[in-house]
Amino acid sequence: MSFAPSAVLVTGGAGFIGSNYLLHVVPRYADTLFVNLDALTYAGNLANLTDIEARDNYRFVHGDVTDADLLSRLFAEYGFDAVVHFAAESHVDRSILDPTAFVRTNVHGTLVLMQAARAAWKGSEDICRFHHISTDEVFGSLGPEGHFTADTSYAPRSPYAASKASADHLVRAFATTYGLPVVITNTSNNYGPWQFPEKLIPLVIRNAVAGEPIPVYGRGENVRDWLFVEDHVEALDRVLRSAPNGSTWLIGGDQEISNLELVERLLDEVDRQTGSQVGTRRPLIRFVTDRPGHDFRYALDSSPIQEQLGWQPKHDLEKGLQRTVRWYLDHIRWMENILDGEYRSYYATQYGSRGMN
Ligand code: NAD
Ligand code: TDX
């Protein structure tokens, strides 16, 4: 299977993974038009995209994936033959504070987008493709052993995970019922440049640089598998261009670590790169009230994408964390600029009552 789209609608391209994706594909495929549709929520930031904003094969449209009229106009104007759907509310802690926007964007938004694709692609399904970006969290929580595979039953446990699982089910239902040509990817925790500092790794780096307390939920024993975002976007490009219709791919980094160990390694790396004695920042760690329903562990079996599509992650955790800390130290202003009043009030709500001191 080989697919070379001519016009791609990328949703959520001003967010963390979407902007890394556009920075990768826009310069690489000069003959393909990429239209970035993004509502610019608190998580969207056009400053991520300055390197490509003037390219002839890139356009930005400020709009919402739930806006059916806008979508039908965009499909008519640009004649998309591919959609890569990143747009979502993506932070588990925010979904616990208020799930409403998660159902609106992640479930209803995915439905509206597929309706638009379905109407535009009637009769041309074999030359079009809808790539839905999803997460390992749809599978629930693992114990200390084992991996999720594409055959694992869904068992989402947070409102975020439930909204992503609902979207995945709708995408498969559209494939089965209407013949929508879809591919789905479920990925583990991404990290790297341009990640909004509500997520663990950039939050730790920011607080470490500022000398502020580092919140670790529970005892820091929960385990995540970390994937460097540039490795992820390479995998996404392969899936869009070479995976068969209807297929699902799990993309993990094979880099599992407990949260406490990760935080310690990050703090030591910040010490190293700022010329402090290694270990100086570890006393900033604070164990705080756990996340409700906190999934213990995620791990994905990525062997099918490695064996069948020839993808391999290029960064192990050591190399990825070094690059990530370097990047945030070089982009302190970018980070401080996005921490506006909305973030400060979220931070106060999220951490104020959790025993941070
Ligand atoms: P993000 O929160 O950084 O970015 C989301 C983007 O979507 C933002 O630019 C935001 O403005 C936009 N957006 C939100 N609601 C919208 C709407 N209604 N209409 C249009 N645009 C809207 O998210 P991310 O970390 O880049 O995640 C991207 C995708 O990857 C999501 O679908 C997420 O579920 C999935 N994912 C993320 C991770 C991770 O570790 N970050 C891991 C697995 C899967
Ligand atoms: O302050 C914190 N302290 C802490 O201990 C934060 C923000 C997180 N944590 C823990 C919770 C998790 O076990 O660190 C781990 C990672 O947390 P997040 O960065 O919030 O990521 P997670 O909840 O694992 O979800 C991420 O990976 C899967 C993304 O945010 C999702 O969008 C993706 O689907």
| pLDDT for the residue numbered 275 | 97
Q: Domains in the chain, start-ordered, CATH in brackets?
A: 7-191+227-254+293-314 (3.40.50.720)
Least Cα distance to 15 among 199, 162, 183 occurs for 199
DSSP-derived secondary structure for 93-148: HHHHH--HHHIIIIIIIHHHHHHHHHHHTTT-GGG-EEEEEEEGGGG--B-SS--B
* Rounded-to-integer distance, Cα 193 and Cα 335, Å: 11
Q: Are 186 and 138 in contact (CB under 8 A)?
A: yes
21 Cβ closer than 6 Å to some ligand 1 atom: no
Asked whether 352 and 213 are in contact (CB, 8 A), the reply is no
How far apart are the C-alpha atoms of 269 and 318, rounded to whole Å?
10
Ligand 2 atom closest to the Cα of residue 223 is 13
Q: Is the CB of 17 under 6 A from ligand 1?
A: yes
> Residue whose CA is closest, atom 24 of ligand 2?
189
Task: Please state, in angstroms and rounded to a whole number, the distance separating the CA atoms of residues 278 and 283.
Answer: 12
Output the CA 67–ligand 2 centroid distance in Å.
29
Atom of ligand 2 nearest to the CA of 294: 13
The answer, yes or no, to whether any atom of ligand 2 lies below 6 A from the CB of 217, is yes
For ligand 1, is residue 16 a contact (CB within 6 Å)?
yes
Which of 132, 163, 199, when mutated, tests ligand 2's pocket best, judged by the most ligand atoms within 8 Å of its CB? Answer: 199
Q: Whose CA is nearest to atom 28 of ligand 1?
A: 86
Ligand 1 site, residue 250, Cβ cutoff 6 A: no
CA 56, CA 63: separation in Å to the nearest integer? 21
Give Cβ neighbours of residue 10 (< 8 Å, ≥ 6 apart): 18, 21, 22, 34, 35, 36, 37, 83, 84, 86
| Residue 159 backbone dihedrals phi, psi, to 5 degrees | -55, -40
Residue 187 Cα, ligand 2 centroid: separation in angstroms? Answer: 13
Ligand 1: atom nearest CA of 137 is 43
The whole-angstrom separation of Cα 354 and Cα 357 is 9
Q: Which ligand is nearest to the CA of 227?
A: 1
CB atoms within 10 A of CB 76: 12
Return the active site residues. 136-137, 160
pLDDT tens, residue order, the chain (357 aa)? 799 999 999 999 999 999 999 999 999 999 999 999 999 999 999 999 999 999 999 999 999 999 999 999 999 999 999 999 999 999 999 999 999 999 999 999 999 999 999 999 999 999 999 999 999 999 999 999 999 999 999 999 999 999 999 999 999 999 999 999 999 999 999 999 999 999 999 999 999 999 999 999 999 999 999 999 999 999 999 999 999 999 999 999 999 999 999 999 999 999 999 999 999 999 999 999 999 999 999 999 999 999 999 999 999 999 999 999 999 999 999 998 888 878 889 999 999 878 775
Burial class (CB in 10 A: 0-12, 13-18, 19+), 213: middle
The full 3-state SS of 166-203, as one line of letters, equals HHHHHHHHHHHHHCCCEEEEEECEEECCCCCCCCHHHH
Kindly give, in sequence order, each residue whose CB lies less than 8 Å from that of residue 72, ignoring residues fewer than 6 positions away. Answer: 116, 119, 120
- Which ligand lies nearest to the CA atom of residue 87 in the structure? 1
Spell out the residues 6+ positions from residue 345 whose beta carbon is closer than 8 angstroms to its own.
none
Q: Residue 300: CB within 6 Å of ligand 1?
A: no
**Residue 191 Cα: closest atom of ligand 1:** 40
Token reading at 183 = 């591919």
